[in-house]
Amino acid sequence: MSDLNLTEKQAFDRERGEVLQQLEDWLETPMLVLGFAWLALFVIELIWGLNPLLEAVSTSIWIIFILDFLVKLALAPRKLSYLKSNWLTAFSLMLPALRTFRIVRVVRTLRTVRAVRGLRLLRVMTRANRSMRALGASVSRRGFGYVVMLTAIVTLVGAAGMYAFENEVDGGGLNNYGAALWWTAMLMTTMGSEYWPKSPEGRVLCFILSLYAFAVFGYVTATLATFFVGRDADDDEAELAGAKSIEALQGEITALRAEIHILLERNSKT
């Protein structure tokens, strides 16, 4: 009887897993579009702020994301494993609730401005993570195109975050979004600029962006090396040229050995 119940439970879990997969496939494109829209609204919020209409749109998208997460959690056969795999998504969906319940206003009343700025830094990272996950879910094979799109997202959001942090600092050099975007783009190319962040949150974000830039630089280098090596491997003429070079090198080694042998014989006779 216990074996029968176990078999039924496994079959039920498989059905729920299949339904979850079908739901994710069906919602893939809509969630991707909403993810980019939510990210764009967040960038606008950091730079210019949101009017009531855009605020309502952002809140509606946030509610849709919450419902999507709760439905998928309910369908997941192993809920604890699902939460462990998507804990950052859950955390990113919790942060807007702080603003909804006016917790940020309470923090400001207590004059802990640093906590407010730290919360904004968390929102920058988690909001970008939400869009990255949506983009990653829509790309079955995470190739070079995925990295390019991901880098564009990181650059746009990172620039908005740097502008939000450094614009309020005395003597800050990122007084508009254009300057912040240029600075972030230079950082992404590992070139950098003469300006360095002055706020603690800006320095943390700069460090994270630098780590990402170095990782992307290594990935691009490896991709280019793989491309050229693969192209040479597929080219018959390149393979023939390589074989001829090896044969020529072997011939030169043989001739060198013969000359050394002749010199040794001459030295032995003298």
Q: What tens digit of pLDDT does each residue of 168-195 get?
A: 777 667 888 888 899 999 888 877 677 8
Determine the pLDDT at residue 2: 56
Determine the pLDDT at residue 268: 67
Determine the pLDDT at residue 130: 59
Determine the pLDDT at residue 107: 41
Determine the pLDDT at residue 108: 44
Write out the DSSP string of 175-239: -SHHHHHHHHHHHHTT---S----SHHHHHHHHHHHHHHHHHHHHHHHHHHHHHHHHHHH-HHHH
The whole-model pTM stands at 0.61
Determine the pLDDT at residue 115: 43
Question: How far lies 205's CA from each of 78, 120, 125, in Å?
Answer: 35, 11, 9
Residues ≥6 apart with Cβ < 8 Å to 242: 232
Determine the pLDDT at residue 76: 83
- In one-letter notation, the amino acid at residue 237 is E
Six-digit token string for 241 = 């040229």
Determine the pLDDT at residue 113: 44
Q: Is 136 helix (H, G, I), strand (E, B) or coil?
A: helix
Determine the pLDDT at residue 53: 92
Task: Round to whole Å and give the CA distance between 268 and 270.
Answer: 6
Task: Round to whole Å and give the CA distance between 214 and 178.
Answer: 23
Per-residue pLDDT of the chain (270 residues; tens, 9 = 90+): 455 466 767 776 777 778 778 887 788 788 878 888 888 888 888 788 888 898 899 889 888 888 988 888 888 888 888 888 877 777 777 766 555 444 444 444 434 444 444 455 556 666 555 555 555 554 444 567 777 888 888 898 889 888 888 887 776 678 888 888 999 998 888 776 778 888 888 888 888 888 888 888 877 777 777 766 655 555 555 555 556 667 777 878 888 888 777 777 776 665
What are the b/e assignments for 83-98, b being 16+ CB within 10 Å?
Answer: eeebeebeebbebbeb
The sign of the torsion formed by the CA atoms of 222, 226, 227, 232 equals: positive
